[in-house]
Structure 1
């Protein structure tokens, strides 16, 4: 419940930030234009990103005949969660990882790499797939799309102001010093909030997945193994398309970059600790 409340507060914060930036830089017309453009791009992403991402990773769809154990595991978990059966995919990648995509439970897909299927036990894979189904159940693709729309619109406003000059809410030229500060800090703040939303959704998917599987320790064990192995095994597609990293159960990007505030995933150690605490109550 706390993570849902946190997500709601963060969503309210990014929307409030958009309103403030729009008033400071774009005026009413600029704010509306940025929202329409950002919404249009993310509307396309919301409807077609599942097919794009699956194709990007060369995912191959499997069924009860080509991958019976894996497919039937997902079917059992989906039935337990009272969800429609998603499409199931396998990705030929050595790095242990998995993700879910799709705009709603009726149009969802889950995918796992060959690396994770080799590394984990059947019990641990079950925990991982329950986590991915929880993402679908919680409609996290919709939440991430809305947050991305707001963050993208804020960045667009900053770009408009950079090239055409800022405007206040009445359409008059804005204070240049204020405009420069907002142009620099607003996109940064939007990104921080967007990443915080992503981390909150991961915690909630861990909790939801543990409830679906009925085995928090299985997911905790899986996260420990994935965290230990994933960093040492590069995933070329994720490196080429880092925007897809937030979809994975564990950050697939190798080293470098800022962590903490700008991480799409919570620390693995904290996720494991929460799951262990949850298991003690079972």
Structure 2
């Protein structure tokens, strides 16, 4: 866990440095200032509005305790055991089984589950999934993933700005244009790889922390198998709105991609949980 935090801090620093360097290439000192302002605005939006953006993308609505008493009982129990505030609960109308956590801190957090998830999991398995999502909240993964996504978006933005408005007729300014081209081509790839590295390591950590919170690693392992089967059978379209929330979900909601997978293979996750259960036994 400590190693993941250090590595993530380094990766976020590298992304921020890339943005400032892009500003210098495209506009000198004034470009650096513009890049700094834009980056701070993007991070501010990610910090204060990320949860609303994600929940709106999924068309999620608040769910009441009368409507979902079992879900409320599980979340209340685990939050009490962890001595943390209980997050808000939302329900997304999609038939795909999935879940996610969002919010900038434990006091402003929310957990969203889909109708498909509630339809296929029993109470024990649902408890394992909720433990996983609560661990994301307690480890501040939700804030981290949101800020990483914001920085990655800004890298792509600066690449487009450089190509559209960067001067290319003056031979003395060709390097700036080439820098914009390089940023446009390789920047999104680098940003995506950072997102993938963050998301994958965080999923393993949340699996372990969630299993410790519930005391039942096998319940989460069984739930992950069911969720993996359901997401492959009912993949969501990789549209702009949903794509922004995909890396926050417990399993990738899209068609599998070998090179740009935001989540570790389910087989590896369940194997880790089974070994953990064996050690507990």
| TM-score bucket (shorter structure) | 0.7 to 0.9
Give the equivalent residue in structure 2 for 1:130.
131
The 5 Å alignment of 1:23-34 reads 23-34=24-35
Distance in 1 between the 2:163 and 2:242 partners? 27
Distance in 2 between the 1:45 and 1:123 partners? 33
Give the equivalent residue in structure 1 for 2:173.
173
**Is 1:187–2:225 an aligned residue pair?**
no
Contact 1:25 1:179 in 2 (8 A): yes
Give the equivalent residue in structure 2 for 1:272.
270
Q: Deviations over 1:94-145 (max 9, x none)?
A: 2111111222111111121121112112111101001111111112222123
Distance in 1 between the 2:238 and 2:151 partners? 26
Give the equivalent residue in structure 2 for 1:145.
146
The CA RMSD over aligned residues, in Å, is: 2.6
The 5 Å alignment of 1:166-245 reads 173=173, 175=175, 176-235=177-236, 241-245=242-246
Unaligned runs of 5+ in 2: none
Contact 2:89 2:110 in 1 (8 A): yes
Distance in 1 between the 2:53 and 2:181 partners? 36
Change in Cα spacing, 1:274 to 1:123, as seen in structure 2 (3 Å) is same
Give the equivalent residue in structure 2 for 1:251.
252
Contact 1:127 1:218 in 2 (8 A): yes
Q: Secondary structure in 2 aligned to 1:247?
A: coil
> Could you state the TM-score of these two structures normalised by the residue count of structure 2?
0.86
Unaligned runs of 5+ in 1: none
Distance in 1 between the 2:16 and 2:269 partners? 28
Q: Deviations over 1:17-57 (max 9, x none)?
A: 33444444443322331232243244224322323433443
> Could you state the TM-score of these two structures normalised by the residue count of structure 1?
0.86
Give the equivalent residue in structure 2 for 1:4.
5
